[in-house]
Chains A and B, each alone.
Chain A
Amino acid sequence: MREKKQAKRFTLGKKKMGMNNRRSKIGNGFVILLLLLLGAFMAFPLYYTLIQSLKPSEELFQFPPRLYVLRPTLEHYTELSQLMSNMWVPFSRYLFNTLFVTLAGTIFHVLFAGMAAYPLAKHKFPGRDALFAVILLGLMFVGQVTFLPSFIIIAKLNMLNTYWAYICPSIGASLGLFLIKQFIEQIPDALIEAARIDGTNEWRVYFQIVMPNIKPAILTVFIFQFVNIWNGLSKELVYEEQLKVVKVALEQVSASNAYARMGSGMAGSVLLMIPPIVVFILMQRNVVETMTFAGMKD
């Protein structure tokens, strides 16, 4: 199937070259100018964060501020690592918490959502459409909107101050299931039927036939979920120091003395931005392929 798709893309590319001929030159110039302006707007804050983290302290408080760094230094990064190593909870503990929670939340979400997406896409059973409608509704019930009632429920389940408070809500998110389900729908029924005739049961059909064919969707949901958990872990749900994550710990360090630690705060920001960016760049191709099927009819 994939080969077919690539072949299709190849011919598309050829046709497109022909198409470009009837584009006007002025139009192209305008497009490039606009892209450059918008691109600068998008890139500048990221660039400025990096520059600020490399400036020695005297350059940080200089008037007028500079857009570049004269004597780049890593002193804020070493300062940050010193601050972290002086805390009573070792840094490795924060790191373990973060990795454990992010990976558990992501892996269980992908596993469960995939298992649920398969019957929703390919089985007929009573209540299917109603169920899917509820899941679509759930696309809007994101953490930023429902954080308060979620807090109440997590508290009532006695999950405050445990890893569960981080992990459980992210497993039940809607978006991942939606994307995987849309992706499974375009898998030909014949493929699944063939396996069924051989007597394979539905669990094995999913894990052995369907799952290998939806790798792009699974990787995409993996990224979205990873990024969401990485950025979304909240201070309200877990306040015991030993259970906190790297993000919260770094924020505490730089927030406790915002001015004097501006440099190390920026260094912390740079470090926190790296994992989501790396994950996204590595898996970008899969994301675009998955979003192709993310269409929604009202």
Chain B
Amino acid sequence: METKKKSKNKILTYFSTYKTSYLMMFPYLLFFMVFTILPVAASVVLSFTDYDMVQRPVFVGLENYFQIFLNDEYFIVALKNTLIFAIIIGPASYVICFLIAWMINELKPLARALVTALFYIPTIVGAAGWSVWRLIFSSDQYGLINGFLMKWGLLNEPIGWLTDEARIMPVLIIVQLWMSMGISFLTFIAGFQNVDKTLYEAGMMDGIKNRFQELWYITIPSMANQMVFAIVMQIVNCFAVGEVSSVLAGLPSTGYAGETIVTHIMDYGNLRYEFGYACAMGVVLVVMMQYSKKFATWLIGRMGH
């Protein structure tokens, strides 16, 4: 009898604990569901429709997706550019972040703080910070690059760095690299500072000779979790390139040379009001991000073992 009562009490307390748990999460989850999850879910639904926000959505099946891949030559350009950013910027800034974090890990605390600030600040200054690149790569002779190349006699005429189809992407890559050292960089810094130092001592006994071996056999394996988190941040960073392109090269850029999936979505959503079509592109983008994450995590999992 008594044990029964006890177990009943237990269930009751369990229930009340659950209730508190759910109640504590409720305010956040409300906002999270409505403003983070619902947009993506709505995108999936709307991607099968023709929708302009004025009339009711009309179901069109897979038509938007066929249109995207078979009938929209600029989406293919956008896809290509987005993949270029992902393939170049993603790994490059990841590796650079990692190496810099590794280098400054051995500096004195003050110097380390200064370098951290220097590498992180470009990420947080936003559009106000990167609009200066428009002056650096300006198409007239007052542009910094043009000015100096002409002064040194390497150029006779100013080059349209942000207006020539062939030059837009290289310039955007440089700018994007400059501003993508953000959160993953901080994560690495923290990761390096917290590798168990006794492992290094043990490694020395086991015959680890130089800093590269130490990095490969000790540091990387013990930072695996941080590295996965940094990958997620990095993927978000390079697949979401768009604002930089639209501010520096214009929307649309000359001959759509700087088009990315995000600017293509801006084009169809904000300018042409073809929301169903734009949502379908958004779905493609999110799916690509998910698969790149899977691939990159798999790659990291194989490192250092």
Chain A residues within 8 Å of B, Cβ to Cβ: 12, 15-16, 19-20, 22-24, 27, 31, 34-35, 38-39, 41-43, 45-46, 48-49, 52, 60-65, 112-113, 115-116, 118-120, 123, 125-126, 131, 134-135, 137-142, 144-153, 155, 157, 168-169, 171-174, 177, 201-203, 206, 224, 227, 230-232, 236, 247, 251, 262, 265-266, 268-270, 272-273, 276-277, 280-281, 284-285, 287-292, 294-298
The answer to whether A65 touches B144, judged by C-beta atoms less than 8 angstroms apart, is: yes
In the complex where A63-B141, A149-B279, A295-B229 touch, is A140 in contact with B117 (Cβ < 8 A)? no
Q: B215 CB to closest chain A CB, in angstroms?
A: 12
- Can you list 12 A-B pairs with a CB-CB distance of less than 8 A? A43-B118, A62-B142, A116-B25, A120-B25, A123-B18, A140-B232, A147-B266, A148-B278, A172-B28, A173-B36, A201-B20, A291-B226
- Interface footprint category on B: 35 or more
In the complex where A65-B144, A149-B39 touch, is A20 in contact with B106 (Cβ < 8 A)? yes
Q: Which residues of A contact B39 (CB under 8 A)?
A: 141, 146, 149-150, 152-153
Max chain B C-beta neighbours (<10 A), residue from A34, A147, A202: A147
In the complex where A38-B96, A146-B282 touch, is A115 in contact with B24 (Cβ < 8 A)? yes
The answer to whether A140 touches B235, judged by C-beta atoms less than 8 angstroms apart, is: yes
The answer to whether A298 touches B228, judged by C-beta atoms less than 8 angstroms apart, is: yes
> Quick one: which of B70-124 are within 8 Å of A by CB?
96, 100, 103-104, 106, 113, 115-122, 124
> Quick one: which of B238-296 are within 8 Å of A by CB?
239-240, 242-243, 262, 265-266, 269-270, 275, 278-279, 282, 285-286, 289-290, 293
In the complex where A65-B147, A172-B34, A231-B126 touch, is A34 in contact with B103 (Cβ < 8 A)? yes
The answer to whether B243 touches A202, judged by C-beta atoms less than 8 angstroms apart, is: no
**B42 closest partner in A (C-beta):** A149
Q: Which residues of A contact B266 (CB under 8 A)?
A: 147-148
Q: Given the complex of chains A and B, what is the CA–CA distance between A222 and B28 in angstroms?
A: 16
Q: Which residues of B contact A131 (CB under 8 A)?
A: 25, 29
Max chain B C-beta neighbours (<10 A), residue from A24, A125, A206: A125
Given contacts A148-B265, A270-B128, 5 further A-B contacts (CB under 8 A): A23-B211, A125-B21, A144-B243, A168-B35, A285-B113
The answer to whether A45 touches B136, judged by C-beta atoms less than 8 angstroms apart, is: yes
The answer to whether B65 has its CB under 8 Å from any CB of chain A is: no
Q: Given the complex of chains A and B, what is the CA–CA distance between A137 and B42 in angstroms?
A: 16
Q: Given the complex of chains A and B, what is the CA–CA distance between A157 and B39 in angstroms?
A: 13
Q: Which residues of B contact A177 (CB under 8 A)?
A: 28, 32
Q: Which residues of B contact A126 (CB under 8 A)?
A: 18
